[in-house]
Amino acid sequence: MKHVIIYTISTLLMCAAPAWMYAQTPTDAIMMNKGDICFGLIYDHGEWDQYWQGKQLLKNGNVGTLTRTTVLPMFAYGIIDNVNLLIGVPYVKTKSDGGQLTGDDGMQDLSIALKVELMEKQLWKGKLYLLPVAEFSTPVSNYLSDYQPYSLGLHTDHLSLRGILQYKLDMGLYLRGSIAHLWRTETKIERDYYYNNGSYYTEWMDVPNAWNYQATAGIWLFNDALKIEGNYTWLRSTSGDDIRAWNPGQPTNKVEVNEVGGSIQYRIPQLPGLGIYAHYSTIVEGRNMGKFTNIGGGLTYQFKLF
């Protein structure tokens, strides 16, 4: 199982009108062995020219097309064969070509994830895997969450617990499902009164917790050098308000996302340890969210420390 670990960026949830979060979610079932190290650099370009105000899809000439660029340096390490550590901290830049509001840019949240392979079991003509993942993230700069749709993120501490179940046939085909719950702390804003279905007299905003589900089908080809997969991702806030008419979003919004995506990953046989990666995703249904399309790619390099 000496495969390169990749943060599947198709599930980076980059919202918009309520541009909110960037959850780098280690959602795949790949494990590295003890002592393996992987460095990666991933680039992503997301944009939308329509957003959902509540469930109503709108264009806003004062935003035009919003673009969100992410550069994610990442690091993964096999602590032991069954336990991997993943660390990433993205740089994000936002801007739009309409209206007169300025974009933002800076380092966003440091994310640390621990992935454990609890089970690997032979079943019929393949193997069944069960992997829990715990992920914690915390902001590393003082970007403002209450600056929609240009804010870099939600500026909260964030904990997610994910369960991944994968069945992989020996011939390379696999199916995977994952369920995660995301807990977020409140976010500090720069005003002490706001409206969230009523008055709030505080500098803190409640950021809704959320459920995230993902279904994936993929295949390993050419002696496990090439991986191709497609996925469908859902995000559901467990509470929150809708963006009010022709008003900016805010971190309290109830966000829903249905997204389709896919990725390709290739390990270059002639250059051991080096991998290239590309992804595409598009949001097909949403609520209080920009109708993002994301495209990106990156390089990974893996080697054995000991």
Q: In this complex, which beta carbon is closest to other proteins, that of residue 103 or of residue 218?
A: 103
Residue in this structure with the two tokens 């966003």, named with its chain if needed: 108
> CB neighbours (10 Å) of residue 11?
26
Q: Does 161 bind other proteins (CB under 8 A)?
A: yes
Q: In this complex, which beta carbon is closest to other proteins, that of residue 157 or of residue 285?
A: 157
Contact set for other proteins, span 247-306 (CB under 8 A): 247-248
For residue 131, give the nearest of 122, 121, 141 by alpha carbon.
121
Q: Contact with other proteins (CB under 8 A): which of 67, 82, 258, 282?
A: 82
Q: In this complex, which beta carbon is closest to other proteins, that of residue 33 or of residue 102?
A: 102
Stretch that binds other proteins, among 30-38, 201-209, 285-293, 296-304 (CB under 8 A): 201-209
The pair of structure tokens assigned to 281 is 């995703």
Write the DSSP assignment of 220-280 as a string of letters. EETTTTEEEEEEEEEEEESS-BPPPTT----TTB--EEEEEEEEEEEE-TTSTTEEEEEEE
Q: Does 33 bind other proteins (CB under 8 A)?
A: no
Half-sphere exposure of 224 (CA within 13 A, CB side): 10
Q: Does 114 bind other proteins (CB under 8 A)?
A: yes
What does the per-residue mask of binding to other proteins show for 219-258, with x meaning CB under 8 A? -------------------------xxxxx----------
Stretch that binds other proteins, among 65-73, 169-177, 191-199, 261-269 (CB under 8 A): 191-199
Q: Does 62 bind other proteins (CB under 8 A)?
A: yes
Alpha-carbon gap, residue 10 to 271, rounded angstroms = 26
